[in-house]
A = this chain, B = another copy of it.
Amino acid sequence: MADEQLVSRSEDFSEWYNQLVLRAELADYAPVRGCMVIRPYGWALWENIQAALDRRFKATGHVNAAFPLFIPKSFLEREREHVKGFAPELAVVTIGGGEQLEEPLIVRPTSETIIGHMYAKWIKSYRDLPVLLNLWNNVVRWELRTKLFLRTTEFYWQEGHTAHATAEEAEAEALRMLGVYADFAETEAAVPVVKGRKSEGEKFAGAVRSYSIEAMMGDTRALQAGTSHFLGDNFARAFEIRFLDQENTLQYCWTSSWGLSTRFIGAIIMVHGDDKGLVLPPRLAPYQVVIIPIFKNDDERSEVMAAIERIREALSEFRVHVDGRDGLTPGFKFNEWEMRGVPVRVEVGPNDVAQGTAALARRDRPGREGKTTVPQEGLAAAVADLLRDIQQSVFQRALEFRSSHVHRPRDYDEFRQALQDGWAEAWWCGEAACEAQIKEETKATTRIIPFEQPGGRGECIHCQQPAAEMALFARAY
C-alpha cells in the first residue's frame, strides 16, 4: 500500500489527491456510480469532525433530530427556486414493496421542505420559537463529475434548520453558524477561511442570502467549506409555518439552514497534504501518535515492547496507536504512517530502552529537521507541546500560503494573471451577466463578497461600472 511513491503534488495535484485518498485508506470507490465507501480511517476522521462541530452546536443551543430520507415530490415543488435548483440532480424512488408508487419519492438532496412541513405542524405560538434543530445524515445529489469526498452522489453532512419570530433573528442565526464553522475550520482543522456573502448567482436555491467560508487548497483553487443561509420567509410561506405572536396575530416564521459535509475532509487533505501523503491536524487526527518498535531479535523485541507498553500508558490522554505488526520493517511503517498523516511518530529501539529515551518525529516536518530524542520521563508533556506546536504550525503554513496567493489586480489583465496563480480580490459591479462573462473568460467564479471590505467604492474589474464591494474570485472545486 505505502510501498510506492505518490505522484508529487506539483506534478499532478488531482492525481496526487486521488492516489492519496486510496492509499491512506480514507475512502474507496463504491460499485455505484459516483458513490464512495468511507473506510474506517476516513470515518474516524469524520467522527472527530462531528464531535468538534456537535459540541459547538449544542453550546449554541441546538439539538439533534432525524427526518426521513424520502421527500414527496410535491413538497420539493412548493418552493419555486428550490425545485429549479435541485430538479436536475435528484434520485427518485418509483417502486416500493414491488409496486409503482402513486407519488414518486425523492431521496433527500437537503431537507428544507420536509422540515418546513413538520415545523408548520409543531409551531403554534411565539413560545415555541426559536426552533434550533440539527440533523446528522446522508443526502443524495446526482452529480455528473465526481471526486472522492469533494463531490459524490451520496455524501454525509449535518444540516441545521432553525425557525425564528423575526427576520433579524433568523439572519443573525445564519451569521452565528457561519462563525461556528469558521472557528471549527481554523481551530480544529487548522484550515484558514475567509467569511463572506455569496453573489445572487451563487446562492442556495431558495435562500434570500447565502454565506460561506472559503478555503484555499494546495493548488490555490478555492473550496467552499461550509455554508449558511438566511431563507427569509420563503419556506415559511411555501409550507405555512406560522405562529401567533404576543399580540395574538398570525405571523410567518423566518428560517435559516446551514451545512458542512464530508467535503471538508477534502479540504483537510488538500490544505495540509504533501508529497509523502496526508498531514492531519492533531486535534482531528484519528491517531495523534503512532509508536513504532525497532528491534533486531527476540530479546530486543521483548524489552522494546515492554518499554512501549509503559509509554502507551503514559500517553493515555492522547489517541495512540502501537504498530506492532510482524514482518514489516520500521522503514515501511514510517512511510505508511507518513502517508496516513499521523502528527507524531514515536520510535523506540534498544538504545532508547537502555538510555530511557524515545525518538519523536513530527509529520509536518519530515526528515532530520523534525526529529528529536527526548527522555521517556516527561514524555507526555513533550508530546502535548509538540501536538500543540504542530497544530499551530500547519495553520500558520496554510495561512502564509494563502497570503502569498491572494492578489489585488489593478486591471483585467492582471486579474486574469492572478487567477492563474491564486485568488483575486477585485471590485465588482454585482451584475450576474458580468459574473457569467468573467467565468467564461477565466473559469473563475465569485466565491464570496468578503465581510471584510476595504471601504469606499471602485470600478468593476471587468466592466468598469461603479462597484460598491470587492469580491473574491477564484477557480473553485
- Chain A interfacial positions (CB closer than 8 Å to B): 28, 30-33, 35-40, 42-44, 46-47, 63-72, 75, 87-98, 104-105, 107, 114, 117-118, 121-122, 133, 137-138, 140, 142, 144, 153-154, 156
Contacts and interface: CB of A to CB of B under 8 A. Distances in A.
A30 B93 contact: no
Contact of A140 (B43, B69, B88, B104): B69
B97 A94 contact: no
Q: Is the interface of A mostly helix, strand, loop or mixed?
A: mixed
A63 B40 CA distance: 6
A74 to B, nearest CB: 10
Contacts of A121: 28
Contacts of A137: 138
B87 A92 contact: no
Interface-centre pick from A71, A94, A97, A137 (highest chain B CB count, 10 A): A97
9 contacts: A32-B71, A36-B68, A37-B68, A38-B65, A40-B64, A70-B154, A90-B98, A92-B95, A93-B94
Contact of A66 (B33, B38, B96): B38
Contacts of A39: 65
Contacts of A92: 93-96
Contact of A68 (B30, B75, B89, B114): B30
A219 to B, nearest CB: 27
B98 A91 contact: no
A130 B8 CA distance: 34
Nearest to A286: B63
Contact of A31 (B93, B98, B117): B117
A92 to B, nearest CB: 4
Contacts of A89: 97
Nearest to A41: B63
Nearest to A87: B98
Contacts of A90: 95-98
Contacts of A107: 69, 93, 107
Q: Lowest 3 A-B CB distances belong to which pairs? A: A97-B142, A40-B63, A92-B95
Given A28-B121, A97-B144, 6 more contacts: A30-B67, A35-B70, A40-B64, A69-B154, A89-B97, A90-B95
A146 to B, nearest CB: 12
B142 A96 contact: yes
A31 B93 CA distance: 16
Contacts of A75: 31
Contacts of A64: 40, 43-44, 47
Nearest to A122: B28
A412 B35 CA distance: 55
B32 A70 contact: yes
Contact of A105 (B32, B65, B122, B133): B32
Nearest to A105: B32
Contact of A95 (B71, B94, B114): B94
A88 B98 contact: yes
Nearest to A107: B93
A102 to B, nearest CB: 10
A3 to B, nearest CB: 14
Given A38-B65, A63-B40, A69-B154, A95 B105 contact: no
A140 B108 CA distance: 14
B156 A66 contact: yes
A31 B114 contact: yes
A320 to B, nearest CB: 14
A22 to B, nearest CB: 11
A168 to B, nearest CB: 23
A224 to B, nearest CB: 21
Contacts of A38: 65-66
A127 to B, nearest CB: 8
Contacts of A71: 32
B95 A28 contact: no
Contact of A91 (B42, B95, B118, B133): B95
A154 B91 contact: no
